[in-house]
Amino acid sequence: MKNMTKPLMLVVPTVIFGGCTLMPPAEDPVLIKLTELERRLEGVERVVKNQSLVNLTQQVAAADRRADELQGRVEELEHGAESTAERQRQLYVDIDTRIQELEAAIRDRNTVSVMDGGALPPGQLPMPGGSDRDNYNAAFELLKEQRYEPAASAFQQFLVTFPDSELADNAQYWLAESHYVTQQFEQALSEFEVVISKFALSRKVPDALLKVGYCNYELERWDASREALTRVQSEYPETTAARLAGQRLQRMDEEGV
């Protein structure tokens, strides 16, 4: 009986321990389940990650489209601003041209009126809006045409309008001359004296001083006439005015005045 018990005792542990023997990992249902869950989690993570990239890509694309739209809008605004500036420039040029044409028409009308024998309105230039040289030439044309009254008016207004013109000394001289040729000797004398006192360096001074002598001669102021004519000879000896002064002095000697 003892001999049979011993073999049985050896078998039982074997069975017991044999039941606790670990199964291979590939056949373990727990490991299989965990592996499957891990694979599914990785898949979900990949999907989430890929979706984030898609969203980011979409956002970048949207931002690019918006930037393109803004750039296009900026270009449209710049083009509109340039077009507006060009229209304004053209409008300015058009208005300026039309004003110049109107001014020229007014000047021409007034000049033609004066040149055709019309009286020059008081205080008005022969060429309103014209330059100092334009008005000087217009006044001088009146003088050459022997229209002395409008010429005097034109030179007088020239001096009021262009007192600092480089032609002011000439205008002053011809204003005096306009009075002299119409035998307004007192007025001519005053205007010639202005040439001498106000424009002392002018080339017209010898001629003005000669005419001072002439005016005094016509006014029978013999001493004043001789004084002026003698000054011309002594101060401007090599001039035509000095030669003419000598001729007048000789005439005065012959006349005994």
Q: Confidence band (pLDDT; 50, 70, 90) for 175?
A: very high
Residues 143 and 113: their CA atoms lie apart, in Å, by 16
Same domain for 121 and 157, yes or no, is: yes
Q: To the nearest 10°, the Cα dihedral for 197, 200, 202, 203?
A: 100
Q: Please give the Cα distance from 29 to 34 (Å, whole number).
A: 9
84, part of any domain: no
Tokens of 257: 């005045």
Q: Are residues 160 and 193 in the same domain?
A: no
Answer yes or no: is pLDDT of 14 > 50: no
Band the pLDDT of 52: cuts 50, 70, 90: low
Same domain assignment for residues 153 and 202:
no
Report yes or no on 61 lying in a domain.
no
pLDDT value at residue 50: 73
- Quick check: 136 pLDDT over 90? yes
Same domain, 194 and 257: yes
Distance, CA of 40 to CA of 48 (rounded, Å): 12
Let me know if residue 109 belongs to a domain.
yes
Please give the pLDDT value at position 13. 45
Q: How much is the average pLDDT of 23-51?
A: 77
In this structure, the answer to whether residues 247 and 202 fall within a common structural domain is: yes
Quote the mean pLDDT of the chain. 82
pLDDT for the residue 23? 61
Residue 48 in domain: no
In a domain, 18, yes or no: no
SS3 182: coil
In this predicted structure, the answer to whether residue 24 has a pLDDT above a threshold of 60 is yes
- Whole-number Cα distances in Å, 105 to 96, 112, 168, 246: 14, 10, 26, 50
- Give the end of a domain, one of 113, 131, 165: 165
Provide the sign of the torsion angle of the four alpha carbons 45, 51, 53, 55, taken in this order. Answer: negative
| Residue 81 forms part of a structural domain | no
CB 165 within 8 A of CB 171: yes
pTM: predicted TM-score of the whole model, two decimal places: 0.56
Q: How far is CA 224 from the centre of its chain?
A: 56
223 lies in some domain: yes
Confidence at 98, pLDDT banded by 50, 70, 90: low
CATH code of the domain in which 251 resides: 1.25.40.10
Of the residues 112, 136, 165, the one at which a domain ends: 165
In total, how many domains does the chain have?
2
Instruction: Check residue 118 and give its pLDDT.
Output: 55
Instruction: Give the domain extent around 245.
Output: 184-257
Q: What is the mean pLDDT of residues 213-225?
A: 98
Q: Which residue has the tokens 């110049």?
A: 100
Closest C-alpha to 140, from 90, 88, 175, 165: 175
Q: Is position 245 within any domain?
A: yes
**Percentage of residues of the chain with pLDDT beyond 90:** 49
Q: What is the pLDDT of residues 221-256, one digit of tens each?
A: 999 999 999 999 999 999 999 999 999 999 999 999
Burial class (CB in 10 A: 0-12, 13-18, 19+), 152: buried
